[in-house]
Amino acid sequence: MFKNNKKLSPNITDTLIGAGTEMDGHLKSQTGVRIEGTYKGEIDSKGDIVIGEGGVVRSNIIARDVTIAGKVYGDVHTRGKLTITAAGQLHGNAFAAILIVQEGGILNGSSTMERLEEKKGGSSLNSSGSGLGSGGSGSDSDSGSSSDKKGKQAG
């Protein structure tokens, strides 16, 4: 049904889900995808994903780079850059090497930034080991040591 004999470039936007289109399912793509309509399901792409200003996505997204100008409800995992434009909204967690949130953009969730090079060296943090405890700011990984320091300064 589809031609598999040519190599597809992840730099090309090959698929468009246009305005007025509603889709459900699991989307797996070797190239870029642009969504201007409504999509519900999983998205897995070796290319870039662009959610246009009219796009509404209820999905977890895995892609090389992701640009959000519309609304995304779900987690976004990129191997590269996640950009949330001034009109964009991400209601979910962000996992990216580079995170850009333009003024006016919304990120309602947590963000974890890791570079692939750090994983190879063995010194990277995993998504659950970022040093943040429940209710903590991440500035003190050992809450007892901060009270000891304050006690020594006061005395």
pLDDT 10s digits, 106-123: 999 999 998 765 444 444
Whole-angstrom distance, CA of residue 106 vs CA of residue 136:
22
DSSP 8-state secondary structure symbol assigned to residue 128? T
- Which residues are paired to 50 by β-bridges? 34, 67
Within 10 A of 89 (CB to CB), how many other CB atoms are there?
A: 20
Q: Are 30 and 47 in contact (CB under 8 A)?
A: yes
* Residue 29 pLDDT greater than 90, yes or no: yes
pLDDT at 106: 97
Across the range 20-30, mean pLDDT stands at 95
pLDDT in tens, 58-107: 999 999 999 999 999 999 999 999 999 999 999 999 999 999 999 999 99
Kindly calculate the radius of gyration of the chain based on its CA atoms and give it in whole angstroms. Answer: 20
Which are the contacts of 153, defined by CB distance < 8 A and separation ≥ 6?
Answer: none
pTM of the predicted model as reported, rounded to 2 decimal places: 0.69
Looking at residue 155, what is its pLDDT?
41
Q: Where is pLDDT greater, at 15 or 55?
A: 55
Predicted pLDDT of residue 144: 41
